[in-house]
Amino acid sequence: MLSAQDRAIVKSTVPLLESGGEALITHFYRMMLSEYPEVRPLFNQAHQASGDQPRALANGVLMYARHIDQLDQLGDLVAKIINKHVALQILPEHYPIVGACLLRAISEVLGSEIATPEVMTAWGNAYGQLADILIGAEAAIYQEKAQAPGGWRGARAFSVVKRVEESAEITSFYFAPVDNGPILSAAPGQYIGMKLVLDGEEVRRNYSLSALTDAGQYRISVKREAGGRVSNYLHDQLQVGATIDLFPPAGEFTLADSDKPLVLISGGVGITPTLPMLEAALATERPVHFIHCARNGGVHAFREWVDALAAKHPQLKRFYCYAEDDGVSAAADKVGLLSQEQLAAWLPEQRDVDAYFLGPKGFMAAVKRHLKALGVPEKQSRYEFFGPAAALE
């Protein structure tokens, strides 16, 4: 347990983290990834280049420092970190590397006048406390998943048994275990970890599961990203019959039990986790409003599938919004960006709903504002976002 002196020192560094935390973390990542190649597979280089990963970690470090004496105030942040770690198989031996590089970055960026021996000792103790919390929680989840029906620990070999082009940009991949054994059931909204070796280099990624696991298979639906190393490999080279290593499903952005009307709002490939949520909700007969936004009909995946469900389940209302009309695809219910007025027309009249939304950052920021303005309780407005929540304000 941290001493009162350590906690006070860590909290005193909060103003420095507020103004310079991102620069500090950027230096930390640059140093760690260049000097410790064994941890490179655990980090998405695209997120490094965009700044998303440094911003997310800088926010996490800041929040930890700010609430060092009231860790329960961190809310869902710790659960998000733990689930990301589990999906990528972060192990106890990785923590000393991260800790050493973080302390070194603090020393080198802040300088000796600020990063005094007392500050360095306090932050070393604070990191040790955080590492112990995460390692313990992750160990419990690893054990739980290994002992659950169909569960396993670490990598497990799966075969690609089917691939389907869902739109001009999105392709689905179906995986079945090579050992023909059962698989771990995933909660609607969870993602799965993947380990690949590309050009002799190991890389790891997380992808949302886009279907329920009732059929004994996992399905992911991947958008081809311009310059995306892994997405382009999957689209161009991962064929039926190939073998790939998967880690057990993880993730806290899941469909909660409720009898309130459900609103699912997605943009682009953000539709993927909403699909198993939709399937699960329809089995309970709760009202569902499914709202999807796409650039145009050519890149809109799963439209026919959702339309078929709507024809079968009268409690499902579906609405489509296209940014542009390509003149070829089926018409949308609205052309243009999703405005607050349009969202109001598509929501249930009573705003006591459970809303889940996912998509590009700008889209999510707008939806978050719209839902709040339209009276949807903030605690019932749920989303998954890589980065500080403040970025969506």
Q: What is the pLDDT of residues 284-293, one digit of tens each?
A: 989 999 999 9
The pLDDT value recorded for residue 47 is 61
Binned at pLDDT 50, 70 and 90, residue 18 comes out as: confident
Q: How far is residue 204's CA from residue 38's CA, in Å, rounded to a whole number?
A: 12
* 187 residue type, one letter: A
Among 46-50, 108-112, 199-203, 371-375, where is mean pLDDT lowest? 46-50
CB atoms within 10 A of CB 38: 10
Q: What is the CA radius of gyration of the chain?
A: 22
DSSP state of 209: B
pTM for the structure as a whole:
0.90
Do 388 and 364 meet the contact criterion of CB atoms below 8 Å apart? no
In 193-335, which ranges are continuous DSSP H helix? 229-237, 274-282, 303-312
Higher-pLDDT residue of 114 and 211 is 211
Q: How far is residue 282's CA from residue 240's CA, in Å, rounded to a whole number?
A: 31
Q: How far is residue 383's CA from residue 263's CA, in Å, rounded to a whole number?
A: 12
Q: Does residue 117 have a pLDDT over 60? A: yes
144 vs 79, 140, 153, 177, 183, CA distance in Å?
A: 15, 6, 9, 19, 14
Q: Is 383 a catalytic residue?
A: no
Mean pLDDT of the chain: 91
Q: Give the residue-averaged pLDDT of 43-61.
A: 71
The pLDDT value recorded for residue 388 is 46
The pLDDT value recorded for residue 17 is 85
Read off the tokens for 77.
Answer: 């942040």
The pLDDT value recorded for residue 71 is 80
- Catalytic entry in 22, 64, 127, 138: 138
Q: Is 95 a catalytic residue?
A: yes
Q: How far is residue 87's CA from residue 141's CA, in Å, rounded to a whole number?
A: 11
Q: Does residue 48 have a pLDDT over 60? A: no
Do 251 and 190 meet the contact criterion of CB atoms below 8 Å apart? yes
| Residues 6+ away with beta carbon under 8 Å from 302 | 166, 221, 271, 275
**Percent of the residues in the chain that have a pLDDT greater than 90, as a whole number:** 73
Q: Give the residue-averaged pLDDT of 83-93.
A: 91
- Catalytic entry in 95, 108, 233, 279: 95
Supply φ then ψ for residue 312, to 5 degrees. -90, -30
